Amino acid sequence: MYSAQVSHEEIDVLSPEPITLMPFSLALSRHGLKLNRVTTHTLQVNVGFLCNQTCRHCHLSAGPGRKENMELGIVNEVVSYARRSCFETIDITGGAPEMNPGIGALIEGVFPLAPRIMLRSNLSVLNDGKKDQLLKMLKAYRVVVVASFPSLNEFQSDSQRGDGIFQKSIDALRKLNAMGYGHDGSGLELNLVSNPTGAFVPPSQAEAEKRFRKILKEKWGVVFNNLFNFANTPLGRFRQWLVKSGNFTAYMEKLSASFNPCAVEGLMCRSLVSVAWDGYLYDCDFNLAGGLFMGGRKMHVSEMPGPPEPDSHIATGDHCYTCTAGAGFT
């Protein structure tokens, strides 16, 4: 499949070429499947779209110019929600969540309420010279760091994420390793997320993890715990890039052709609820990007009595094919 080098600055909002795709809901029913919730054990908190990077693959079109940022009042609402819901995991994401002034309050607030706190990081933001306090806090609170590290190839990585980002990411990984992150037995978990740099479905996760572990260790002395390998979701800036580069139709067809009914049972939306920067709830971060409210109904975190009920409906769209391609996206 063709992968063009189109800079994100060139990308306008374009209509995709016409495409005939079986609706995702129909693909489910053809296999006798329904996408409903089980017990919801994870609260994902998207603190906003502000980011120091403007990555081509970003499904949220996050970047330095974005103004959507969770305010302290909503942070407090989220903490109250976590208190009345007993989640097992709080998964903090953005944008670059480290850039939200309320990040410390959020981590402190949810720390006593859930056994596992995760922070998704683009890594480069940890190297701006202003995050030492936050790094100390992550270590003290045993926050799991889930770091975006798309490629081992510096040129490919910089073309997707911006000039110089690869080296800054390596420096940040070394800093985290020096603090104990990524070392077996340290209790400080460092996981990497890799994704293709073009319009491709990713290779096997086990193979990719082996390759990343070997090369990162040999070339840069970097260690980590697990690697997750995901396809890019055709929303936001990545969708615009697919359209602009003429890859949209072929990519969507590739995803739908890779539909794996066995992946449905483990989809993250079945056990996760996502809260956006403004407090509204979604079934996952992709539905947040696509504007599909939780179960198709607009609901604010302050009105939510507890976790979504088991068996409740999950809103879906064609972007859901990303999650069911191959081994799936959990």
- Binding residues for ligand SF4, per CB under 6 A? 267-269, 283-284, 286-287, 314, 316, 319-320, 323
**Single-letter amino acid, residue 309:** E
Question: Would you say 98 or 318 has its CB closer to ligand SF4?
Answer: 318
Question: Would you say 159 or 316 has its CB closer to ligand SF4?
Answer: 316
Nearest distance from C-beta of residue 18 to ligand SF4, angstroms: 23
Nearest distance from C-beta of residue 126 to ligand SF4, angstroms: 27
Nearest distance from C-beta of residue 4 to ligand SF4, angstroms: 25
Question: Would you say 89 or 167 has its CB closer to ligand SF4?
Answer: 89
Question: Would you say 90 or 264 has its CB closer to ligand SF4?
Answer: 264
Phi-psi region of 92 (alpha: psi -120 to 50; beta: other; left: phi over 0): beta
Question: Would you say 43 or 222 has its CB closer to ligand SF4?
Answer: 43
Question: Would you say 50 or 284 has its CB closer to ligand SF4?
Answer: 284
Nearest distance from C-beta of residue 313 to ligand SF4, angstroms: 11
Nearest distance from C-beta of residue 205 to ligand SF4, angstroms: 17
Nearest distance from C-beta of residue 268 to ligand SF4, angstroms: 5
